[in-house]
Amino acid sequence: MGAKWIKFAVIYLIIGIAYGLFMHYTIQLQWKTLHAHILVVGWLSTGLIGVIYSIYKDAARTKLAMWQYYLHNIGLPVLLVGMLFVPILDRIPMWLFELCVSGGGLAFALSILLFIFNVFKKVA
């Protein structure tokens, strides 16, 4: 399970670097918060979870870890798409923005709660 997390983290690293280069070369800095979230939450947090699950394999084998994996990897991209909409809120339906930010954010937050619970339960 840890290797899957690390591979997803590397994908976020690639996206974050590419997005940062796009912002730099087009001088469109209004998405700097999204760029930071891609790298900090996508790359760093996802990678760290992968490292923890690689070290503590008992925690990685639980149903909590499986549910966390799916909630994280569905919720985070949906949240990031919602954050992409922030500078153009006047051009998109508000329900779409709320669905992405609230739905993705809640799924991601739940995945982190599952991770915390799993760590306290299985990591000795």
| pLDDT 10s digits, 39-93 | 999 999 999 999 999 999 999 999 999 999 999 999 999 999 999 888 788 888 9
Segment 2-18, tens digit of pLDDT: 999 999 999 999 999 99
Contact by Cβ (8 Å): 65, 50 = no
- The reported pLDDT for the residue numbered 89 is 81
- The reported pLDDT for the residue numbered 1 is 87
The one-letter amino acid code at 22 reads F
Tokens representing 112 are 């982190």
Segment 19-41, tens digit of pLDDT: 999 999 999 888 888 999 999 99
Share of residues in the chain with pLDDT > 90 (%): 85
- The reported pLDDT for the residue numbered 7 is 96
Q: How confident is the model at residue 109 (pLDDT cuts 50, 70, 90)?
A: very high
Of the ranges 67-76, 92-101, 108-117, which one carries the lowest mean pLDDT score?
Answer: 92-101
56 membership: H or E segment, kind and range: none
| Residue range 100-116: mean pLDDT, rounded | 96
Contact by Cβ (8 Å): 77, 111 = no
pTM of the model: 0.88
Rounded to the nearest 5°, which phi and psi values hold at 28? -110, 85
